[in-house]
Structure 1
Amino acid sequence: MKRILPVTLVLFLVCQTAFSQTSPPSDIGTIRQNLKKLNILGSVLYIAAHPDDENTRLLGYLAQEKHYRTGYLSLTRGDGGQNLIGTEQGELLGLIRTQELLAARRTDGAEQFFSRANDFGFSKNPEETLNFWDKDKVLGDMVWVIRKFRPDVMICRFPTTGEGGHGNHTASAILAQEAFSAAADPKRYPEQLKYVGVWQAKRLLWNTFNFGNTNTTSPDQFKINVGGYNAILGKSYGEIAAESRSNHKTQGFGSAKQRGDAFEYFKTILGDAPKTDLMDGVDVSWNRIPFGMPIATQLAAITKAFNDDEPQASVPALVKLLNEVDQTVATNKAFQTVRLTEVANSSYDYWHKQKTKELKDLIAQCAGLWFEAYSNEPSYALGDKIAETAQVYTPNNLSISSLTINNGATAVKVDNADGKSLGPNKLQTFNLEPKTADKISQPYWLESPHGIGSYTINDEQKVGNPENPDAPAVNFKFTIAGKEIAYERRLIFKYVDPARGEIYQPLEIAPPVTANIAEKVYIYNNTQPQTVQVKLKSFTNASGSISIKPVAGWKISPEKIDFTGKNKGDEWTVAFNVTPTSNKPNTSNLEVIATANGKAFSQGLLNIKYNHVPAITIFPPAQAKLVNIDLKTAGKKIGYIAGAGDLVPDALREVGYDVHQLTENEIINGDLSVYDAIVTGVRAYNVNERLAYEQPRLLEYVRNGGNLVVQYNNNNGLVTKQIGPYPFTVVNQRVTEEDAKITFTDPQNAVLNYPNKITGADFNDWIQERGLYFVSSIDSQYSTPLQMNDTGMEPNKGALIVTNFGKGRFVYTSLAFFRELPAGVPGAYRLFINLLSKPKN
């Protein structure tokens, strides 16, 4: 099965986003919640396949009500889905959905983890999924996360028996069952044991569900009422869940807030079944570790004495507690003996590390400490020096005797025995010694080319992390009440926007020069040369050259283009002529090499900016596809009605069409007869409510001789059910095997013959799927020229329907042209152009 591989698309969106500050919140509600969490030593890991699969109400309840350490392991980053708000597909969509998940977790209080699995698209069975994911590697990732996170309870969103529908869903449950046991087996993935110990969770549960037409709950199942109200947060868990889920904007999962009782049901898959509580048989108090109860006693006293008006008054007691936690580990010989003889499942070291971090954060929150680190510019080139600034605010008159700030290049120390220069109500700014930018800020799972089903990860210890764990950071070490307490803050860039105020965004470390090719795909249907434009941007002062690697079957001129004296921030464009050397069909990859200051790089620059997620910058391969095909076109002018977002208009322009985005006024009042065809974008009848009112005008255009091509729509949320001149029904049926056999049921149909003769070869090399959301209950007025099916499924004629109406033609297609055209699939171009080309009578 072929799927979309690394993306070279260059996209600059106009929106800009505020990146949340790196200092955590320190409001009284947060402090109160964290005090409660400090007293709970229990953890739950939720497991499913995709972003948006997670049960946000349950996660919020477990994290904010029960105060368990709660995590969500999404095996994929949602790369294969559709995008309701933009044109990003594949790994670009996965980048956005990663940030949507992180935003959801900031809302519901859980943590986020991933495996290396790539969401290659819809799968009808787990066998296909596990084959493309590389089962052993993805299972190893799950075992790694389990051994690091050490959940007492694991919960699956889906069963192994298929009720979840999607093959990825079922596969996630199958893998969870195997990982439950494998994580406890020292013979499984023994290479991990250099860094983590084996771990056996108490139980694995399936969180049964009742949605759609599937109800897997039953009265005899263990259940929890998660519909309560959190007085400290001032919200019910149904409200928290809706706010969390509404972060999944690319999926269109904005949710209404719910209040009142809500029960979650569970079926035990492995381990002991719970009887009265999710954590039955698990001691989640400090008593679960040796010599832990004195800590619980002191924590109870601190909580009782806590004053909302003076949270800083609790700092000395919290520091004392932190001291005693550390001393227990360092000096208690009795425990040392226990630790050496206890089974490998010992929780003490794990919980010491976890609770120490929580205690340190709580001390900073109660103290009102605020400290961050910034780069002085938004981007730097690899090898250049990063100018850095740190700021520290100490609002209270606490006993902070010293502060050391270390960025890895140098340390700045403030030694202040009387505490005056570090408070109260004092902000200090420190200019740090510049540090060398030693690594491009590429997401770790995109550093190397990857296959269809999984990403290539160069450092196995990074597995599970939602973002780069080694991003540049600055260390802050405070001496508070006589104890040194260390913190880390990620290095970011901050600036002030006149309209929006203070804006945070991640620091970019780029290649010295990036090269963006103007088009992703260049389509040739003769031996005439085309101009390939390359936009360059310098991130440092540079001289060098730009060239295109020689490509067999193609002539490239000139061989290279030199540049000198470019300064940081300079942008310029160069052009190459690329010509096929024969008329034979040929598909090749074009790669641009930017040599700067003696070193060669082949990376572009891509920025994705939406208001609901942090700014995303990656450096994709500087590559494009050259496709020489036998392609005939008819007509020239296309009207396009935007849908949820796709790149089909750009693909049509690439082969010479004049594509105009139609407005409502033009549809209602304009002369539509000037268009050889009108095309609706993917899911247009789901997202454009005005189409319900524009539809009569579009059908009138067809009746008068026009050619209307409607691309796929989701069966849920159609703005009108009368999309065509005769009835049909959009249904949730698809063919996911992109190499599924195609049968021509109406071989003489014009869409298979004019202006290109379509053969079986035109369905070679398709990616990800044949089509989705096919149609059924098709009126007899329509012809159905194609038939296809996945292995073991009944033949389906609902991918393409065509009818003459009046003087014109209406076409509805569920074929995945929105994926195939941007990927440069030759046969997809030939067939789609046929759909646009109504023969002259």
Structure 2
Amino acid sequence: MGLPAMAQPSPVWNAADIKLQMKKLDTLGSVLYIAAHPDDENTRLLGYLAKEKLYRTGYLSLTRGDGGQNLVGNEQSELLGLIRTQELLAARRIDGAEQFFTRAQDFGFSKNPQETFTIWDREKILGDVVYMIRKFQPDVIICRFPADSRAGHGHHTASAMLAEEAYAAAADPARFPEQLKQLKPWQAKRILWNTFNFGSVNTTADDQFKMDVGTFNPLLGKGFGEIAAESRSQHKSQGFGVPASRGSSQEYFLTIKGNTPKNNLLDDVNTSWARVPGGSKVGALVDAALAAYNMEDPAASVPALLEIRSAIQALPDGYWRNLKLRETEQLIYACAGLWAEAYSTSPTVVPGYNMEATVQLINRGPVKITLEQIDLPGKANIAGKQELAFNKFTSISQSLAVPAGTPESEPYWLAESHPVGMYIIKDPLLVGYPENIPALQAEIRFRIGDQDFTMHRPLQYKYTDPVKGEIYQPLVIAPPVVADLSSQVYIFTDTKPQSVPVKIKAMTDNVKGNVHLKLPAGFTAGTNNLSYALAAKGDEIELRFNINPVKSAAENHVDTFTVVMECNGKEYTQSLQQIRYDHIPLITLFPEAQARLVSVNLKHNGNRLGYIPGAGDMVAASLRQVGYDVTELGEKDIMGGNLQQYDAIIAGVRAYNVNARMKYWQPRLMEYVKEGGKLIIQYNVNGPLVINDLGPYPFSLSRDRVTDENAPVKLINAKDPVFHYPNEITAADFNGWVQERGLYYTVNADKAYTRLFAMNDKGESPLDGAALLAHYGKGCYVYTGLSFFRQLPAGVPGAYRLFVNLISVK
């Protein structure tokens, strides 16, 4: 069977959209595209397959892109994966494909599949790919990458290896037999590699099977190069806005397994209704409905679509029968002009507490539609049987108690703590879904003609913004109370206590109880049991706890504390986190209300730092944690301010990639160094750069990186003062790093620079471009590709010690 449709608002289809969907109803073919990350997919090909060839088309991304960089904000890791998930869904709404995932987590750049499979559980991820193949039942599977080094990334290569293995395993009942309780073995006709020409790497050839996907679709009013550009430009967190292309464009394919297509991607696949036993009658009815379709009167097609629905229902249960039945029902709603939605008057609801829900409907066509019944969660039959009069708006409201046990709005793949590289999903039937199935839905029953229909609509939050107008957001299901910590890391360099503010927020009315901190050994809190009472939903109170380390840190150590809130006899430990960007829906999650307690033997000199923001890093906030006075610098500060007041100026990650003003600020920054200042430039990608000369002396940026966060690090000149003041730096300061050592290292550096470190991934030659230091005039310049933007927010003690030494260099 196919994937069950998520409950969604009524589709807004115009007459051309309806015709395209009717044509799709007559096409029974499917293609699954497989790659590793958001942005790996070929959006032009996906759009062409979904909206020109009208195949059911899916993109299986092994990961959610958690390990990349963020150009729109400071979210990293799982939070970035949430953003990229929604960007992928936005892309799919444009190109018409469907989106799926495995449990694999993007842990950052990987140089080869051997490294990838030391972090990913190969058998489990293979099982997920097999599961999706059996569930989606693709006639053809397409890989974006080859299973060798030409893929350019260990995840890319691994995706092709897994796809090829899953192609055979999905057809083998002895492989992953536990899946066969719900699914059946599936053998795709062939698996192909969609070869590419990526600048310096051209894997296409004239003797490969190819097809022109640059056609123009008059029903869409666009060519697929234009649709692809709109789709790909949804990857905004990656800065992937691209121009539209128009005209002929070839896509090339090499066969991995199965026979090679000659005329069509789905050669030897029957894509008509004749592939379904007894389906020829349905095919004839669809052909007749298409021929009779009047774009000026879609409602005239409803009788024919009702007949088609009856004919499909008479077929034996099966994949295409169920999929096309849902498509037919959506067409009936669209042609009839039936619109329905369900919403809450509050953005947040709490299980066990009351909420106000409203269902709204309208019949905008001449077809007779009878409303039979509306069921809401915990409330059956809130509306009596009634005919929906033509163009008369109907609104039905009901107060109800949110059923106890309704799951909170936590992305299902984040519900359990997980190791690096793999999400833990307890319910195997959830694997593949891009987002949660809506927990609260309205069930609306209609009668159209002589047939009964059941429509599901998710309860959403709808409101009117005075600037943006009517806004829909996912309804948030929350615990009754949450805690907010102002910092995720607390740095202790001595035994002085730190005041930790904890903000308690009511998510419903009348909540009260006590709050305490669950502290690790070695820490105490003066008064560790404070009460709260909040009368109204949304009320907040700030409580302050003084955390004391028992003794000063002789060794660097990282611990964690948790906020525990008692409410109505239960304990809650969640915080509330929301990600808001205009290009995606509101994202809500309830992570543990925790923060790291970092004990570090750290000395620092200087006090005032200037910080030039880069692309979404949290380094400035991390430096404030260790006592620095950090000022973010802008145009007036740099071009007209007194830069010499700062003990050091630091440029955030990718500042020279994303800030066009760096070109004009650079002379002032170099003058600042020359007059005695210290300038630290964090990593930039090697192109495009707003200027090529990033330092006082020449050097270049490469794509070199060290991806193993545990790779040994050698201090090239251990006697250099940078390793001794104010902290004694040793190889131990590279313990506990996360995701990577660094990226986009320097090469071809002038002799005026001192190279500080040598490091390498296993089996590779040492790289000495992770950090450069040069004296210039009276001051000092540092360029570093070390990933401090990951280490400092993660509370890595040695990273703090090293960064402070770079700030303090003489």
Same fold (TM over 0.5): yes
Q: How far is 1:387 from its partner? A: 2.2
SS of 1:291's partner is: coil
Q: 1:415 to 1:297 in 2, by over 3 A?
A: farther
SS of 1:834's partner is: helix
Q: Deviations over 1:303-332 (max 9, x none)?
A: 111111111111111011101211233xxx
Q: How far is 1:402 from its partner? A: 3.3
Query: Is 1:383 matched up with 2:352?
Result: yes
Query: Is 1:187 matched up with 2:174?
Result: yes
Match of 2:373 among 380, 404, 424: 404
Counterpart mapping for 1:184-583 below 5 A? 184-329=171-316, 349-412=318-381, 419=387, 422-432=388-398, 434-437=400-403, 438-540=406-508, 541-583=510-552
Is this contact kept in 2: 1:148–1:196, CA < 8 A?
yes
Q: Deviations over 1:148-169 (max 9, x none)?
A: 1100000000111121111000
Question: 1:267 & 1:386 partners in 2: Cα distance?
Answer: 56
Question: 1:837 & 1:173 partners in 2: Cα distance?
Answer: 47
Give the percent of matched residue pairs that are identical in Structure 1 and Structure 2.
Answer: 52
Q: 1:240 to 1:733 in 2, by over 3 A?
A: same
Give the gaps of 5 or more residues in structure 2.
Answer: 1-6
Letter in 1 for 2:768: K
Q: Deviations over 1:94-146 (max 9, x none)?
A: 00000000000000000000001000111001011122111111111111111
SS of 2:79's partner is: helix
Is this contact kept in 2: 1:407–1:435, CA < 8 A?
no
Counterpart mapping for 1:91-110 below 5 A? 91-110=78-97
Q: What residue number does 1:808 align with?
A: 779
Match of 1:764 among 735, 738, 741: 735
Counterpart mapping for 1:44-63 below 5 A? 44-63=31-50
Question: 1:415 & 1:813 partners in 2: Cα distance?
Answer: 69
SS of 2:763's partner is: coil
Q: What residue number does 1:701 align with?
A: 672
Match of 1:736 among 707, 712, 734: 707
Letter in 2 for 1:386: M
Question: 2:252 & 2:565 partners in 1: Cα distance?
Answer: 57
* Runs of 4+, deviation exceeding 4 Å: 413-417
SS of 1:746's partner is: coil
SS of 2:87's partner is: helix
Question: 1:224 & 1:560 partners in 2: Cα distance?
Answer: 69
Q: Deviations over 1:168-220 (max 9, x none)?
A: 00001111011111111111111111111111111100101110311111111
Is this contact kept in 2: 1:396–1:423, CA < 8 A?
no
Higher relative CO (CA 8 A, sep ≥ 6), structure 1 or 2?
1
Question: 2:56 & 2:350 partners in 1: Cα distance?
Answer: 39
Match of 1:613 among 550, 569, 584: 584
Is this contact kept in 1: 2:336–2:366, CA < 8 A?
no
SS of 1:180's partner is: helix
Is this contact kept in 2: 1:144–1:183, CA < 8 A?
yes
Question: 1:393 & 1:786 partners in 2: Cα distance?
Answer: 68
Is this contact kept in 2: 1:685–1:719, CA < 8 A?
yes
Match of 2:619 among 635, 648, 669: 648
Greater shift, 491-500 or 403-412, is seen at 403-412
> What is the TM-score with the length of structure 1 in the denominator?
0.94
Q: Deviations over 1:383-423 (max 9, x none)?
A: 22332110001112212233321123223376667x4xx02
Q: How far is 1:569 from its partner? A: 1.2
Letter in 1 for 2:649: I
Letter in 2 for 1:295: V
SS of 1:411's partner is: coil
SS of 1:393's partner is: strand
Letter in 2 for 1:511: P
Is this contact kept in 2: 1:679–1:710, CA < 8 A?
yes
Q: Deviations over 1:4-46 (max 9, x none)?
A: xxxxxxxxxxxxxxxx982212211211110110000000000
Is this contact kept in 1: 2:281–2:311, CA < 8 A?
no
Q: What residue number does 1:749 align with?
A: 720
Greater shift, 122-131 or 583-592, is seen at 583-592
Letter in 2 for 1:457: I
Q: How far is 1:433 from its partner? A: 5.0
Query: Is 1:136 matched up with 2:123?
Result: yes
Greater shift, 94-103 or 578-587, is seen at 578-587
Q: What residue number does 2:25 align with?
A: 38
Q: 1:304 to 1:558 in 2, by over 3 A?
A: same
Question: 1:550 & 1:229 partners in 2: Cα distance?
Answer: 63
Letter in 2 for 1:356: L
Is this contact kept in 2: 1:410–1:433, CA < 8 A?
no
Q: How far is 1:536 from its partner? A: 1.1
Q: How far is 1:797 from its partner? A: 0.6
Question: 2:480 & 2:382 partners in 1: Cα distance?
Answer: 33
Q: Deviations over 1:676-708 (max 9, x none)?
A: 000000000000011001101100000000000
Counterpart mapping for 1:165-176 below 5 A? 165-176=152-163
Q: Deviations over 1:34-89 (max 9, x none)?
A: 01100000000000000000000000000000000000000100000000111000
Q: Deviations over 1:477-509 (max 9, x none)?
A: 210011001121111000011111000000011
For the aligned residue pairs, the C-alpha RMSD in angstroms reads: 1.3
> What is the TM-score with the length of structure 2 in the denominator?
0.97
Is this contact kept in 2: 1:394–1:426, CA < 8 A?
yes
Q: Deviations over 1:573-603 (max 9, x none)?
A: 1111111111233321111111111110111
SS of 2:805's partner is: helix
Letter in 1 for 2:27: I
Q: 1:328 to 1:628 in 2, by over 3 A?
A: closer
Letter in 1 for 2:258: G
Q: What residue number does 2:638 align with?
A: 667
Is this contact kept in 1: 2:46–2:97, CA < 8 A?
yes
Question: 2:438 & 2:183 partners in 1: Cα distance?
Answer: 19
Q: Deviations over 1:272-299 (max 9, x none)?
A: 2111110011000001111111111111
SS of 2:22's partner is: helix
Is this contact kept in 1: 2:16–2:220, CA < 8 A?
yes
Query: Is 1:835 matched up with 2:806?
Result: yes
Greater shift, 652-661 or 386-395, is seen at 386-395
Q: What residue number does 2:3 align with?
A: none
Letter in 1 for 2:583: H
SS of 1:328's partner is: coil
Q: How far is 1:557 from its partner? A: 2.2
Question: 2:460 & 2:353 partners in 1: Cα distance?
Answer: 16
Is this contact kept in 1: 2:8–2:458, CA < 8 A?
no
SS of 2:602's partner is: coil
Letter in 1 for 2:30: S
Q: How far is 1:227 from its partner? A: 0.6
Question: 1:191 & 1:803 partners in 2: Cα distance?
Answer: 61
Is this contact kept in 1: 2:438–2:458, CA < 8 A?
no
Question: 1:212 & 1:620 partners in 2: Cα distance?
Answer: 42
